Structure 1
């Protein structure tokens, strides 16, 4: 049967005894594989008592649909599964296959603790420190402190330097970014750093020109717009940037058709290789 162009709307209940971020990410990753699938999300996070679960079960009964859950408590899991069986809707414990595989491979018992990944431990404070650093070193700020970075992203305007840095910071990576501006030279500190991995971000000139034009329209700004958005000028910027990357031996990532997540994933791979397997 050929695929239909009409949207397929469906109810999906995300039930978690933690923040529910894992479920939300998995739902987006899964529905992305089904072009017309449009989920109507019912989110229930921090469900840690039977009273809270009662309300969740009531909502599922009122709007039956697929149920995705991450719940540690065995009694609450059982109640949820029984109710879903009665309503004849799927109930999926999304982490069970991974947890069971890890337990079998490692020969260890699972720690039955809700939200264990969000404890205020060393990793948590490392992420907070990375976010603080990244905010303070955005858009060429505090270049005298680039040596403290894990990653320094370099590129012309609108190559997604800032959002990529923020994504990396949320993974605990101290990321700074330095813009390449046609009217000035890059800061000297950029060429003397030893600790951080310096990476050049590039994109096709036509794509950059289009993004810049839309950016200026959104800001209702027109000063210097011609050189900023002219494709020939942008092509010259990109060429000079690539030449700079090559001269310094910096790895280059073309972000033309990459999302921020894909760019960050490539950066993490490069960083892991440089560190010998640990990012």
Structure 2
């Protein structure tokens, strides 16, 4: 008699998700810790974290309240505390409560410290200092806002990147994400009833990137948008044939002008922005070709 288990069928019951508490303790904004936790949890199937975020924890009194919360909802504790006294207090408290804890940046900090032979900074929130990089990012964000959706065309030469594409190709959120990386990004929409601005073909300083998406995907995105706005979906905006023509014209324009192209059909905004950054770096190093 065979002991092999039968293959799982489409009707087999799905595994029940496992919920768990994760306590994120930071002496700064908590953004780094939150992003790291999400990235790690995404590697596991069937688990759903219940996040408890404690930002700007910089005193023993604040940490006492954190430990009370951990005791009330036992789970794993991740932290990025810099102050040695607060860190020791948290580690001791977690030992008493039997809660596993980890300094999320410890492995990387240890590796870099050993490689560089440099001492560590004890300055809290050092990555959020009001230095030139900070103000550069804020300036880039202001630029993205004032050069969104075809605004400020006369100032596009000041941009690092100009994203061009038909409606709903994630131009605006990608520009905002790039701004947070200090890149001045503008975007210009391609409108079916209008010729693209002639200025685009004459730009010298910015890298112009075409964003494309598959027609079927684009129709789906636009239908969802209209539904969200409570607008009648029976318009040319979501007509399959017209949308296909619209995307074909966009691709032909990008090819004619020799712009690099990114297909955002199955990309997140973060992935699209990362590809744009790669293109910017390639251009600066003189390695950028005319196609993607």
Quick check: TM above 0.5? yes
Question: Out of 223, 234, 237, which is 2:243 matched to?
Answer: 234
SS at structure 1 position matched to 2:242: helix
- Structure 2 residue 90 is the aligned partner of structure 1 residue 80: yes
SS at structure 2 position matched to 1:140: coil
Shift of 1:42: 1.1
Shift of 1:129: 0.4
**Residues 86-141 of structure 1 deviation map (CA, whole Å, 9 limit, x = unaligned):** 22221010111111111111121111111001111100000110011000000011
If the length of structure 2 is used for normalisation, what is the TM-score?
Answer: 0.91
Question: Out of 124, 131, 136, which is 2:134 matched to?
Answer: 124
- Structure 2 residue 72 is the aligned partner of structure 1 residue 62: yes
- Structure 2 residue 101 is the aligned partner of structure 1 residue 110: no
SS at structure 1 position matched to 2:16: coil
Q: Distance in 2 between matches of 1:181 and 1:85?
A: 61
Unaligned runs of 5+ in 2: 287-292
How many residue pairs match? The answer is 276
Question: Out of 25, 39, 44, which is 2:54 matched to?
Answer: 44
Shift of 1:60: 0.9
**Pairwise CA RMSD:** 1.7
**Residues 16-66 of structure 1 deviation map (CA, whole Å, 9 limit, x = unaligned):** 111111111011111111122111111111111111111111111111110
Partner of 1:272: 281
Q: Distance in 2 between matches of 1:75 and 1:64?
A: 23
SS at structure 1 position matched to 2:149: helix
Q: Distance in 2 between matches of 1:138 and 1:97?
A: 40
Unaligned runs of 5+ in 1: none
**Residues 210-247 of structure 1 deviation map (CA, whole Å, 9 limit, x = unaligned):** 11122122222339x53211111111011110000011
SS at structure 1 position matched to 2:224: helix
Q: Distance in 2 between matches of 1:150 and 1:101?
A: 34
Shift of 1:4: 5.8
Give the 4+ runs in structure 1 shifted more than 6 A. none
Q: Distance in 2 between matches of 1:186 and 1:34?
A: 45
